[in-house]
Amino acid sequence: MDLRKLKTLIDLVSESNISELEITEAEGKVRIVKGGVATVAMAPMVAAAPVAAPAPAAAAPAAAEPAAPAEPEGKVIKSPMVGTFYRASSPGAKPFADVGQQIKEGEPVCIIEAMKIMNEIEADCSGRILRILCENGQPVEFGQPLFIVE
């Protein structure tokens, strides 16, 4: 991809309300995420983003502490992408997973809609669902915890 085109895309993302942009062309794939860029060409921008991110977390240690105890409770199933979280395949359908339900590795636990594409998210472990951390229809970020499994 042409560097001028790449710079234009980065400027568009930074000036808009979107948090992520992914473009696939014949030459390859580019993914731009606000606060960091997931491309080889923009490695210096990735180094700049983490410096700014820890400062707010350090300024508010109380906000960081409640998230820490959630990890030891069990295995966390995280979102593999940015999108909208749905517990079922359609509004009237039965949810893929409920609290207390036994799940198996590879079994669908939810759907994340990204760019009008419904992506089934599969469990990466077996166990019993202890908690569902997202509401139906809630926007989720990459790496955001969705479920805690015992």
Q: Report DSSP state, residue 24.
A: E
Q: Using an 8 Å Cβ cutoff, are 58 and 50 in contact?
A: no
Q: How far is CA 49 from the centre of its chain?
A: 17
Query: Side by side, which strands form the sheet with 28-33?
Result: 20-25, 28-33, 36-37
Q: Using an 8 Å Cβ cutoff, are 32 and 45 in contact?
A: no
Q: What is the pLDDT of residue 13?
A: 79
Tell me the per-residue pLDDT of 11-70, one tens digit each, with 9 for 90 and over: 887 788 888 878 887 777 878 887 644 444 433 333 334 444 444 445 444 544 444 444
pTM passes above 0.75: no
Tell me the average pLDDT across 71-93: 86
Identify the structural domains of the chain with CATH numbers, from first to last. 3-56 (no CATH), 65-149 (2.40.50.100)
Residue with tokens 């997931």: 38
- Structure-model confidence comparison of residues 16 and 79, the more confident one: 79
Q: What is the pLDDT of residue 63?
A: 47
Tell me the per-residue pLDDT of 90-123, one tens digit each, with 9 for 90 and over: 888 899 999 999 999 999 999 999 988 899 999 9
Select from 22, 16, 15 the least CA-distant residue to 1: 22
Q: What is the pLDDT of residue 96?
A: 92
CA separation (Å) from 109 to 16, 46, 49, 82, 123? Answer: 32, 32, 32, 16, 6
Could you tell me how many helices (H) and strands (E) the chain has, helices first?
Answer: 4, 11
